[in-house]
Structure 1
């Protein structure tokens, strides 16, 4: 997929420009020599970018120079709340990131997750409605499992567990299917979607190039660390018991995370490939 599009954008704004996907968007836009504006909560400087210090949670304090395309890689829920104060007559396109979790976690047993999903679905609807009211084209992108070696919060923490313990427990053998997607591919896809009329006013899943069992996905982490695969299957009932004991060590985890190893979470990339040339890389992570 080529990140050069036929429609040249004048001044894009990247909300979340210092984040994982947003950072790649900024990088690729600078390569195109666009006049990039980027929002960050902390002071930053970099060539080709006008950094704006601010917080999306306080949209009434934000002031931007005119821009025509908005990329938002941060919390879509916050964007939905702030959008009425951000949209201006100069804007032609909004590209916002959501998550395939709106589909895969609707039946989660964790009440907090169900509430987040409810809010995220509402945020997608709000973003689309606000843009439609103002005649602004919108595109909502739903990535699958995002990674970027050493930087992400999905795959990299698993590699650290492998490095620490030398093995990985897999609930029920972990047959559930996954499609990990690289953060840079998401950035390239977002830019392509922004410049593509066919992608206006649509929602897309953005899965990675390969569909792997969770077990094989973890196996490739071992491969990328040049370690022998040591995968231990754990019955679901034992996982529940063991998790209760180990939870103090991993306060941000929950029991459903392990149980989802048995659940398929796959999506069709055909619409994105057809409309804006979505073509992500294979999952072959390398860890130093």
Structure 2
């Protein structure tokens, strides 16, 4: 039976679609916009919370959409649209719940409510549910954290290096796609929400330094000490949350995830392709 991928054009979907095709699955991929043909993938135009195209009986759903939107869609179904659902949340539901920024707290409250709502809506028709909570995601040049920093350095050839002792554990989007595949193919993670980080913990300052080193052009490092970062946070409200966490550890214990799924995520070894860049000089 086919697998429906909601959020198929996301960074995780970028790696999941070819894995599904290689695994012999019939793939239905949902997108807001028309997409060029991909071997083994049937593109459907639509998005949640709007109505979806008519769907055949599904074997599974892999979703990277907001969890509350996914739960609302399930609540409107008369019967289970699929036997199994694997959906991603975020470790932010734990690491940012005490944020000093009200907008972040509101976002995390929505995320936590979405997790609970999805679990409830899956229990109602007896859908086998698995949740994944990844840390900071990278790898396809589609993230909104490291990739924008890398690309903004292209024109001025300046790279900001914020001071930060807090540990980070970035996880590659393809490792998450591999985890989704494992959850689709086995019952070992049914009913669980698994936290997932990358295979390496490193200080935030080192993470930014490695991004700079991976660029296909030379940049001048601009070291941003704590007084300057506090000034930036005061002038730019959108940066207050990230700046406040530069010395906080945003990491996860992978032992449950690895023990259940048998997957060991890769270390943080990056190159320009992971920011959507070629070899320009």
Any idea what SS the aligned residue of 2:58 has? coil
Q: Is contact 1:147-1:181 (8 Å) kept? A: yes
Q: Could you tell me whether the CA contact under 8 Å between 1:39 and 1:51 is conserved in 2?
A: yes
CA–CA distance in structure 1, aligned partners of residues 127 and 233 of structure 2:
47
Within 5 A, what are the aligned runs for 1:253-268? 253-268=238-253
Aligned partner of 1:274 among 248, 253, 259: 259
* Aligned match for 2:204, one of 203, 211, 214: 214
Query: Residues 161 and 168 of structure 1 are in contact (CA less than 8 Å); yes or no, is this contact kept in structure 2?
Result: no
Q: CA RMSD in A?
A: 2.0
Contact 1:14–1:38 (Cα < 8 Å) also in 2? yes
Could you tell me how far 1:37 is from its partner in structure 2? 0.9
* In 2, Cα distance between equivalents of 1:48 and 1:265: 38
What is the distance in 2 between the residues matched to 1:26 and 1:74?
15
1:139 maps to which of 130, 138, 141: 130
SS at match of 1:198: coil
CA shift in 2, pair 1:279/1:88, >3 Å: farther
Verify the 8 A CA contact 1:147 1:183 in the aligned structure 2.
yes
TM-score (norm 2): 0.89
1:185 equivalent in alignment to 2:172: no
Aligned to 2:232, the other structure's residue is in SS state helix
Q: Could you tell me which residue of structure 1 aligns to residue 96 of structure 2? A: 105
Distance in 1, matches of 2:130 and 2:111, equals 15
Higher deviation after alignment, 131-140 or 83-92: 83-92
Query: How many angstroms does 1:275 deviate by?
Result: 1.0
2-structure distance, mates of 1:275, 1:57: 32
Q: Secondary structure at the match of 1:152?
A: coil
Displacement after TM superposition at 1:98 (Å): 0.4
Matched, 1:242 2:227: no
Q: By how many angstroms is 1:89 displaced?
A: 4.0
Among 116, 121, 126, the alignment partner of 1:125 is 116
Which SS does the other structure have where 2:93 is aligned?
Answer: helix
Cα deviation for residue 160 of structure 1 reads: 2.3
Does structure 1 retain, via aligned residues, the 8 Å contact 2:67–2:115?
yes
Using structure 1 for the length normalisation, give the TM-score. Answer: 0.87
Secondary structure of the residue that 2:130 maps to in structure 1? strand
CA distance 1:231–1:178, shift in 2 (3 Å):
farther
What's 1:166 paired with? 158
Aligned match of 2:276: none
Contact 1:69/1:92 (<8 A) preserved:
yes
3-state SS, counterpart of residue 210 of structure 1: coil
Inter-partner Cα distance in structure 1 for 2:61 and 2:118: 12
Are the counterparts in 2 of residues 196 and 275 from structure 1 also a CA contact under 8 Å? no
Corresponding residue SS for 2:258 = helix
Report if the CA contact (8 A) 1:16-1:23 is conserved: no
Query: In structure 2, what is the Cα distance between the partners aligned to 1:244 and 1:194?
Result: 45
Is the Cα contact below 8 Å between 1:149 and 1:285 reproduced in 2?
Answer: no
CA distance in 2, matches of 1:281, 1:259: 28
Q: How does 1:4-19 map to 2 (within 5 A)?
A: 10-19=1-10
1:116 and 1:108 map into 2 onto residues whose CA distance is: 10
Determine the C-alpha separation between the residues in 2 that align with 1:87 and 1:150: 38
Gap regions ≥5 residues in structure 2: 273-278
Partners of 2:8 and 2:14 within 8 A in 1: yes
Q: Number of matched residues?
A: 270
2:99 aligned counterpart, secondary structure: coil
